[in-house]
Structure 1
Amino acid sequence: MIVNSQALQTIYRGYKVIFNEVFAGTKPQYERIATVVPSKTKSEEYGWLGSFPRMREWIGDRVINSLAAHGYTIKNKSWEDTVEVDRDDVEDDTYGVYMPMIRELGRSAATHPDEIIFGLLGRGFVELCYDGQYFFDTDHRDGDGPIQSNMGTLALSPASYSAARAQMMSLTDANGAPLGISPNLLVVPPQLDETGRGILLAEQISGTTNTLRNTAELLTVPWLAKNPKAWFLLDTSRAIKPLIFQQRKKPEFVSMDSVSDMNVFMQKKFLYGADCRDNAGFGLWQLAFGSTGENA
């Protein structure tokens, strides 16, 4: 093949079609546990976190619920993934061998939010949320309300799952009123998939009726494999989810494939890649329970 701008444009269009097809056909899971928030600047501040709107009997004047000044900020990050194509392969008309890499580039771009969202969930025991506590902690407090916990240490079992469920459903606001939390999603690493299925899908446990069956859906996440014992119970039924995916720029297919580009002149490499700008952050701790699973 003669390497000229027309030939390179044809290659670019072909790669882009493949990238877009795979990107559109990949179904990530992050929106099940994260609220997608569009961003227009380098960072966004979430002053409304911690506020749970709630209807009350209208007696006298309205009660204005002011936003708490928590100052929780999520800064966008830049991300990229790049594939290089050797000029010799273009000249020899064998650039098609890179199609699997372009497909993988599309899959990687599509699942990127999964990686950072579920990665953040796994770090919830050691990273802070809007109230200055670890996202999963034993001493959260809303204003003058009671100290409350959304963290455990017990291994996943029918008993620990049931206790976590009851604990979440018992949470209250600063005035002591129930928040109405309804956990509906159990998130586990691959190592706990069988245990989770036994709790949520089995008709019987140890010869007795499994009263926990279908009390939540099971979501097994490869991105949590580095946390083999930890498990998470979430309420994803609300307008805001437990986590936040902040999106500044969606993944875009880009290239440096001009014959005059420095990378072609110096290394005879054409570059194709994807880049985006976004980040993940914590939402409301009240909507999530996490256990390290360290204790039997």
Structure 2
Amino acid sequence: MLLNRENLQSLSRTLRALVFQTRDSYTPFWPRIALEARTEGRVGVYSWIEDFPVMRPWEGERQVQNLSLRTVELVNGDWELTFAVNRNDVEDDLLDQISANAREYAFRWAQHDDYLITTLLVEGFQRKGPDGANFFGTHRVGKGQFSNAGTAPLSRESFRAALTQMRSLTDSRGYPLGFFYGKPILMVGPSLEYAAKEIVELPTLPQGGANPDYGAAEILVNPWLAGPYANYWFLVDGTRPIRPLVLQRRRDPEWVAKVDPEDENVFKHNQFVFGVSERKAAGYLYWQLAYGSTGAGS
């Protein structure tokens, strides 16, 4: 390829199309457990409701139900992914190799939102949610307490106990919240995939007979639940308009290309540089819609 400005600008447009097309072809799992929000400023502000409103007999005047509101603030962060293309590869028309590498970079970029949401989950046993308690921990509900965290390894018994526990949650007035009665998500890592399938995807029990847990949850295998998080597992109610987590966006992704033959990076490193950047943040909302276990117990 002749390395003039016209050809290099054309290369930039081609790579941009490839990168964004690859990103758009990826199907993320985060929308199933996190709310997407857009902000117009540095900080996004959300109202967290402790007690949800309920219907009541209309006798006399309407009664405004005073809800306990707390404010959640999320500060947008800057994120970037940058990759370089060797000048000689462009000059020698190695476009198939360049395109393949660009698509792989794009795939990693597309996964990042899933990674951010997974980070919230695995750190939720130590990080605080809107009510001031650890997101996965013991929460005050009225005069009592309720825990959405455990340490039990994934088993049929621990799955049933977690599901029953989350279905039993009430608000501070004793009114049942009714969460987890739809088909919740059972999120596991690769090492727990087949244990999860035995619990909710096989119609019969290993020892014979009908499986009463068949279809009780939908399995989501999360590749980041590995290594120190291999035994972690989560139950999430993703059927409601609200979500346990939020992914906030401030600015749509921008494409930057350094393809001027006289650019300093080309002079020093013999490379053309391409990249994307965006502003976003992720945070906690409703612990009532998520249960987490580290799987570290006996």
Give the TM interval when normalised to the shorter protein: over 0.9
1:153 equivalent in alignment to 2:151 = yes
Do 1:145 and 1:176's aligned partners in 2 also have CA atoms closer than 8 Å? Answer: no
Number of aligned positions between the proteins? 294
Q: Distance in 2 between matches of 1:48 and 1:289?
A: 18
Match of 2:235 in 1: 233
Q: Distance in 2 between matches of 1:64 and 1:194?
A: 49
Match of 2:76 in 1: 76
Do 1:109 and 1:251's aligned partners in 2 also have CA atoms closer than 8 Å? Answer: no
Match of 1:85 in 2: 85
CA spacing shift, 1:73–1:220, aligned 2, 3 Å: same
The farther-off stretch of 253-262 and 126-135 is: 253-262
Do 2:48 and 2:130's aligned partners in 1 also have CA atoms closer than 8 Å? Answer: no
Match of 1:200 in 2: 200
Return the letter of the residue paired with 1:254: V
The farther-off stretch of 205-214 and 277-286 is: 205-214
Do 2:83 and 2:273's aligned partners in 1 also have CA atoms closer than 8 Å? Answer: yes
Q: CA deviation at 1:21?
A: 1.9
Q: Distance in 2 between matches of 1:38 and 1:65?
A: 28
What TM-score, normalized to structure 2?
A: 0.93
The 5-angstrom pairing of residues 1-296 of structure 1 reads 1-66=1-66, 68-137=68-137, 139-142=138-141, 144-182=142-180, 184-205=184-205, 206-226=207-227, 227-296=229-298
The farther-off stretch of 211-220 and 58-67 is: 58-67
Return the letter of the residue paired with 1:100: A
SS of the aligned residue for 1:90 comes to helix
Q: Distance in 2 between matches of 1:33 and 1:238?
A: 10
Q: Distance in 2 between matches of 1:51 and 1:81?
A: 41
Q: Distance in 1 between matches of 2:115 and 2:224?
A: 6
Do 2:234 and 2:292's aligned partners in 1 also have CA atoms closer than 8 Å? Answer: yes
Return the letter of the residue paired with 2:265: N
Q: CA deviation at 1:67?
A: 5.3
SS of the aligned residue for 1:289 comes to strand
SS of the aligned residue for 1:6 comes to helix
SS of the aligned residue for 1:294 comes to coil
The percent identity for this pair of structures is 37
Q: Distance in 2 between matches of 1:246 and 1:224?
A: 23
Return the letter of the residue paired with 1:284: Y
Do 2:151 and 2:294's aligned partners in 1 also have CA atoms closer than 8 Å? Answer: yes
Return the letter of the residue paired with 2:139: H
Q: Deviations over 1:78-112 (max 9, x none)?
A: 11111101222222333442211210122122221
Q: Distance in 2 between matches of 1:68 and 1:256?
A: 52
SS of the aligned residue for 1:176 comes to coil
Q: Which runs of 5+ in 1 are unaligned?
A: none
SS of the aligned residue for 2:243 comes to coil
Return the letter of the residue paired with 1:175: R
Q: Which runs of 5+ in 2 are unaligned?
A: none
Q: CA deviation at 1:152?
A: 1.3
Q: Distance in 1 between matches of 2:258 and 2:68?
A: 47
Return the letter of the residue paired with 2:236: L
